[in-house]
Amino acid sequence: MAIINIKGYEFDAITIKDSFNRRAQKFKNNIIEKLRSVGVPSDDVIIDLEPVAIKRLPASATWYIEGSHSHFSYKAGSKYVDNLYVVSKIIEFEVKAVLSGEKTIDEFIADFTESHEIEEERKWARELLGFEEDSLDFEGMHAKYKQMAKDLHPDMPNGDLEKFKELNRAHKILKRELK
């Protein structure tokens, strides 16, 4: 069984082989329940279930807490339901950290706060680094970032501060998504 390592948490990946839509609903309910335990009303959680959970699609959860738009998505799994499982596990781990006192609610909010245009920003970041918009190869993106950063660094003869800043922003967006 494969191991998934995201946001510092390591857990077994699962491959769901039946009852895809029922299990997706179960993961959605788990996400809502966990977020409620840190004060997020059920009405402030948005998880759009796919009608056919066996399709290869990304899964995401969006919620509003203390005036912040929070979001987490995952798309490296082979099915929507597998991706929703990962979203559910990460939120479960993070909520557990808040409830146990390992993390404050402010840290929780900061870890998941994203702009409403995050998908467009991720697409832009991949394009800037020369990758397809659905690429998940963070190691390749990181290597390309390092190469471009060396060339664009303001201390280099052909350096460009503004382009260097854009590159760093793109890398930060992708690192947050994929690491």
Which amino acid is residue 50, in one-letter code? Answer: E
Fold of 118-178: Helix Hairpins (1.10.287)
User: What percent of the chain is predicted at pLDDT more than 90?
Assistant: 54
- Residue 179's pLDDT band (boundaries 50, 70, 90)? low
Judged against a pLDDT cut of 70, whether residue 5 lies above it is answered with yes
Q: What is the pLDDT of residues 97-135, one digit of tens each?
A: 999 999 999 999 998 887 767 778 888 998 999 988 878
pLDDT, the chain, mean? 90
Residues 6+ apart with CB under 8 A from 72: 60, 61, 87, 90, 91, 112
Report domain extents, the chain. 3-112, 118-178
Q: What is the pLDDT of residues 43-64, one digit of tens each?
A: 999 999 999 999 999 999 999 9
Q: What is the pLDDT of residues 149-172, one digit of tens each?
A: 999 999 988 888 899 999 898 898
8 Å CB contact between 129 and 145: yes
Q: Is 153 left (phi over 0), alpha (psi -120 to 50) or beta?
A: beta
